[in-house]
């Protein structure tokens, strides 16, 4: 799964979505902003334990569909104090894959 996400991210290099940033904070007060692209394409993440949740998309025909949600976490050593910083990515693996697959950046890449 991790490899899929890395290669999808690389294919989506020019996708605006991947230019979003999120912040990693350390207990000592240090913080840094990382772009989604750097985070994902660099493989600087770990997959957490998938959790099954009830789908928020309740349809007429499906009453209790469960979907899997796999959190992505990043751990990095703080350059100031050397402690391990752990951040949880704002989107789940499943969300990311569907976003990246639904927005091909450039049709020529698939020729």
Q: Name the site residues for Zn ion (rule: CB under 5 A).
A: 26, 28, 30, 78, 80-81, 83
**Residue 81 or 109 with smaller CB distance to Zn ion:** 81
**Residue 26 or 74 with smaller CB distance to Zn ion:** 26
Supply the minimum distance, in Å, between the C-beta of residue 87 and Zn ion.
13
**3-state helix, strand and coil shares in percent for the chain, rounded to the nearest 5:** 30, 30, 40
Rounded CA-CA distance 24/85 in Å is 7
Supply the minimum distance, in Å, between the C-beta of residue 35 and Zn ion.
21
* CB contact set of 31 (below 8 Å; sequence gap of 6+): 23, 24, 25
Q: Cβ(10)–Cβ(104) under 8 Å?
A: no
**Residue 65 or 83 with smaller CB distance to Zn ion:** 83
Supply the minimum distance, in Å, between the C-beta of residue 88 and Zn ion.
17
């Amino acid at each position: 799964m991790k490899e899929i996400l890395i290669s999808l991210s690389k294919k989506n290099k020019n996708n605006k979505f991947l230019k979003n940033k999120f912040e990693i904070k350390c207990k000592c007060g240090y913080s840094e902003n990382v772009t989604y692209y750097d985070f994902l394409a660099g493989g600087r993440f770990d997959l957490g334990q998938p959790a099954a949740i009830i789908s928020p998309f309740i349809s007429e025909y499906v009453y209790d569909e469960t979907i899997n949600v796999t959190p992505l976490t990043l751990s990095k050593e703080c350059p100031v104090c050397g402690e391990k910083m752990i951040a949880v990515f704002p989107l789940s693996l499943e969300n990311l894959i569907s976003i990246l697959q639904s927005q091909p950046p450039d049709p020529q890449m698939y020729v």
